[in-house]
Amino acid sequence: MRHHNSVFHAILKHVPWHVFDRLVSEHGADARVRRLSTQDQLIALLYGQLSGAQSLREIEGGLASHRNRLYHLGAEAVSRSTLADANSKRPAAVFAGLFAELVQRVGRGLRRDVGEAVYLVDSTSVRLSKLSADWAKFSEGVFSAKLHIVYDANGEHPTDAIVTPAKVNDITVAKTLQIEAGATYVYDLGYYSYDWWAQLDHAGCRIVTRLKSNTKLSDVTENPVEDDAILSDCIGHLPSRLAASRENPFKSPVREIRVRIESGTILRIVSNDLDAPATEIAALYKRRWQVELFFRWMKQTMKIKHFLGTSENAVRIQIAVALIAFLLLRLAHATQNVVDSLLAFTRLIRANLMHRRSIDALLKPPPTIKDQRQLSLSIDQI
């Protein structure tokens, strides 16, 4: 019978270990480390993500139960106390750097197939315990962090991720993001800053967002409406003055498109694209549901609602590893054509993680002992 390594081994083959080793060296992550290298730490945390482990004790016990297969993974059994110390002290930048490298690998070749980049910018809060009060206190009795994401809507994967305490405003993080000239950026009211909008417009980006109810356009020109889904379509200018009589840096004309959604709410969608059909602009804003689905995936499938550590560093590492696991699943999913759904593929990976099976044979029943004996006899007769 043909030999197969474990499914987990096949997933780990997509990790660019030479890049990871360089990051470990650059950040001195293994300096003065006696037990549990940073590579072993990563493998243990990936095992926890892919197996659905809910605690350090589960990771410790799960890896110990598969001790005879850890050699082929290039890993060792872990102690939960040692893993906890590593999560608390090892530089999170190593894992963030690996995530950035995998983003490039997942996105390679997609842009020329799908055309112009469409980026969805959003954030989600994750609840923490009171043990994280020293860095993540939001209000009395509420402790949380915030995951800020730039999501490639066409490639269906995150391209940037930043973790902050929940008190940090979304627009504060957005202003630190690297802008890709000519791309389309779609975001909601949390990013209501004419300064940032002006930066995007200056870079030749198309922006699609919403107007607040009290924002009035001036010098309005009405466009003909050619679709029943569009209530109105007009071109005008944003207010010329801001609070404290500051001048608005966004001078370009904008387009307001009013649409009624299924709930009956009327949305005032605004864009600096004055030429595209109104239905196209409305459809772009509607694509924000993709990033919401991604957040649901991360919380429910990758289990980042439950944290293995309470320090800021431990939380950053766990979120980075969850994002890495998602990208590794995307890369592994692309190597087979048997399972179309990424969610179904992920569930199969979880069920077969330490089994010796090929990735493209996850839907096939494993061979019985009788089948193996018959195959062995057939080979002996040849």
Paired residues of 127 in beta bridges = 144
pTM, two decimals, is: 0.89
Domain ranges across the chain: 7-95+309-369, 188-287
Tens place of pLDDT per residue across the chain (382 aa)? 455 688 999 999 999 999 999 999 999 999 888 889 999 999 999 999 999 998 999 999 999 998 888 878 878 889 999 999 999 999 999 999 999 999 999 987 555 444 479 999 999 999 998 999 999 998 888 999 999 999 999 989 999 999 999 999 999 999 999 999 999 999 999 999 999 999 999 999 999 999 998 899 999 999 999 888 899 999 999 998 776 668 889 999 999 999 998 888 899 999 999 999 999 999 999 999 999 999 999 998 887 878 888 899 999 999 999 999 999 999 999 988 889 899 999 999 999 999 888 888 787 765 554 544 553 444 344 4
Task: Quickly tell me which residue has 């019978």 as its tokens.
Answer: 1
What pLDDT is stored for residue 373 in this prediction? Answer: 52
What pLDDT is stored for residue 114 in this prediction? Answer: 44
Task: Quickly tell me which residue has 């089994």 as its tokens.
Answer: 355
What pLDDT is stored for residue 284 in this prediction? Answer: 96
Contact partners, residue 151, CB within 8 Å, separation at least 6: 119, 120, 121, 122, 157, 158, 159, 290, 291, 294
CA distances from 97 to 20, 39, 103, 125 (A): 8, 14, 10, 22
CA–CA separation, 45 vs 303, rounded Å? 12
Structure tokens at 314: 């431990």
Phi, psi at residue 178, to the nearest 5°?
A: -80, 125
CA–CA separation, 8 vs 296, rounded Å? 24
Where do the H-state alpha helices sit in the chain? 7-12, 17-27, 38-51, 56-65, 67-73, 80-89, 93-107, 110-114, 133-136, 170-174, 194-202, 278-286, 289-300, 312-333, 342-352, 369-381
Task: Quickly tell me which residue has 């293994």 as its tokens.
Answer: 30
Q: What is the CB neighbour count within 10 angstroms for residue 303?
A: 19
CB pairs under 8 A, 24+ apart, for 211-215? 211/256, 211/268, 211/269, 211/270, 213/268, 215/239, 215/268
Tell how many helices (H) and how many strands (E) occur in the chain: 16, 10
52 backbone φψ class: left, alpha, beta (φ>0; ψ -120 to 50): left
